């Protein structure tokens, strides 16, 4: 709200033509009745995060109606090796890499049947740059349109390191279940594709590059520890 108001002031009082893009979230749709979701799907969040994003999404529309160049990129899950391990995709890739190297014994997860639309973060940055460059502002869903469960992500990660019996390494912890969690978030990016955008990294490739990055990082850590030990 403060960013929008600051841009509005620059526009109205100082003549600076500013553009603003809000990184919205698929969580604004909550437990949507239809799959996939698009820009016309009703906003009905079921989590505090989703509600906060829904408010920001609404305020972007308010200022756009006033004539400001304000857009929302409705981002579905976007991942890369830069994700903190507090996010489930990176938590999985890091744990799988560690398990394959004998550093870690198992992986604790909550609901592994949640359905999500996972894409590659750099692709989504390209989408945001494309959206804000448009002559007319608007809202755009940024998604791959492919649905996978957390279970699928886990299986793909373990498969990448040659472990087929992944269930033996996964512990389902009821404490990790969220009080409310959208059941299925899958996006329809047809409108964005009309601007020429395409997702360039598929699901299996995304999982593999995240696991490979964690394998390399853990190997570097081991090498560093070994070097310090030899010096000592």
Which positions are catalytic?
A: 25, 27, 49
Distance between first and last Cα of the chain: 55
203 — alpha (psi -120 to 50), left (phi > 0) or beta?
A: alpha
Q: Using an 8 Å Cβ cutoff, are 138 and 71 in contact?
A: yes
As a whole number of angstroms, the distance between CA 203 and CA 185 comes to: 15
Distances (CA, A) of 80 to 107, 122, 135, 170, 212: 19, 8, 30, 22, 11
Would you call the peptide bond into 173 cis, given omega within 30 degrees of 0 as the criterion?
A: no
């Amino acid at each position: 709200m403060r960013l929008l108001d600051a841009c509005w002031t620059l526009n109205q009082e100082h003549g600076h033509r500013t553009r603003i893009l809000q990184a919205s979230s698929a969580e604004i749709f909550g437990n949507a009745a239809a799959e996939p979701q698009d820009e016309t799907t009703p906003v009905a969040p079921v989590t505090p995060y989703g509600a906060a994003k829904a408010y920001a999404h609404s305020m972007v529309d308010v200022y756009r109606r006033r004539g400001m160049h304000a857009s929302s990129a409705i981002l579905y899950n976007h991942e890369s090796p830069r994700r903190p391990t507090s996010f489930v995709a990176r938590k999985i890739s890091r744990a799988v890499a560690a398990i394959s190297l004998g550093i870690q014994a198992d992986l604790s997860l909550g609901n592994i049947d949640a359905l999500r639309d996972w894409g590659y973060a750099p692709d989504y940055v390209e989408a945001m740059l494309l959206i804000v460059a448009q002559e007319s502002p608007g809202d755009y869903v940024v998604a791959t349109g492919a649905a996978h469960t957390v279970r699928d992500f886990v299986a793909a990660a373990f498969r990448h390191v040659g472990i087929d019996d992944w269930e033996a390494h996964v512990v389902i912890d009821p404490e990790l279940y969220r009080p409310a969690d959208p059941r299925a978030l899958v996006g329809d990016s047809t409108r964005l594709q009309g601007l020429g955008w395409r997702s360039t990294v598929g699901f299996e490739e995304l999982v593999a590059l995240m696991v490979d990055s964690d394998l390399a990082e853990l190997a570097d850590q081991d090498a560093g520890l070994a070097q310090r030990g030899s010096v000592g």
